Structure formats: C-alpha cells, structure tokens
Amino acid sequence: MKTIFISLLIIFFSFTEYNKSDIRLRIINTNIRDNEKITFQIENNSKINYCFIIDTVFPIRSTDYYHDLNALINPKLTIYDGQNKINSIWVKDVSYDKNSQNNTNLDNYGHSQKYVKEDKLSLIFVKANSSVKLNIPFHLVVRENEETIIYYKLNDNEKYKCEIEYSVKKDFINKRFSNSVIDSVKKKGYKFFTDKLVSNKLPLILK
C-alpha cells in the first residue's frame, strides 16, 4: 500500500506544470536603502510563457491600510529584524496634534511627496527560459497628506533584512480583468502566473 501511495505522488508531481525552482524572484540590489529603487528580476526557467501582474504605482507595499480600495500590492515588501520578526508598517494620524509631527524622528528617513493611492497594474510577459528586470520605489516614510504619515518604526542599532513577495490568485484575475483581456493573454500564447514567489533577503541600510 505504501509503495502504491509513493508511486501516485511521483505521478502527480510529474504532471504539475512547473516546479517552484523554475520560476524565481530575485532582488538585484546589493542592499536596500531609503528613497532608492529596488531592482528585481523575474526568471522564467519553465517551458511555459507566463504573464505576471505588477503594481507599478502603489507606494506602500506591506500595509493593510489601503485594502478598502481593493488595491493590489504586488510585489509586497517585508522587513525582518534580527530575530526574524516582521516589522509592520505604522500609520501616524497627526490631525489632532499638529506639533507631534515636528517632535518625531521621521524626517531622518522621510520625504513629503504625495502619491496616487490607487494601484496601476501592468501585465508583464515573460517568455519561457527568459527573464525580465523591474523597479519598485522604496521609502521608509511617506507623508500621505497633512494629517497622515505612513512609516516603519525602526531602530538604528538593529540589523534588518528585506525581501519582496509576489502573489496573485486566480480569483483576483477573474474579478479584476475582463474576459477580453484574459482571452487576449491566452491568444498571445501566455498564461497568468497564479502562485506565490519570495525573493532573496538583503540587508536594509539605515545610515
């Protein structure tokens, strides 16, 4: 019975359309710095032409703050501390305390640029046995408006590492894109990549 079960597993995995190692997400930078772009590469070493969905505008890529907008945060940035714990994004509401904005250390990492809140999706076509390089913005602090600051609460003496994650489900594609767009992707000979990829980790440089 055990032999039959093992044989069935081998047959099942032999018919999966790709192995996890065939599709790779890799950060090209040697380290991550505030206000610098993160360059990453999607490597398609499979035999299938894949279409990836990339959010090219959304500035805060690890927060639930804008999930009510049904925005796709992709790729998603994650920061880990020395104990491998995730450092979550913080939202500071300064609307009731105008002086608190001047009393924080946010300006050590911050800027005052205003961003578009809604995502802008791009379809990235990656042929079999090929790769593509992309850039995403990285900011430790975003002054969303006069009342709200979105930031990471970090310790200058702590050592942090960053990684990015790509994740798209089939349900999202069916809800977000029309049948004509989905059919167009198929006619071009591509298939939407619906899975999760995690990149390599790189040190975050604060100073």
- Residue 61's Cβ-side half-sphere holds a number of Cα atoms within 13 Å equal to 25
| Residue 117 and residue 60 in contact, taking contact as beta carbons nearer than 8 Å | no
Going by C-alpha positions, the residue among 204, 193, 116, 108 that lies closest to residue 151 is: 108
- Could you report the per-residue pLDDT of 91-140, keeping only the tens digit for each? 666 554 444 433 333 333 333 333 344 457 889 999 999 999 988 888 88
pTM for the full predicted model: 0.72
Res. 202 pLDDT band, cuts 50 70 90? very high
pLDDT in tens, 23-50: 999 999 999 999 898 999 999 999 999 9
Distances in whole angstroms, Cα of residue 114 to Cα of each of 89, 110, 127, 135: 18, 12, 36, 19
Residue 106, Cα to own-chain centre: how many angstroms? Answer: 23
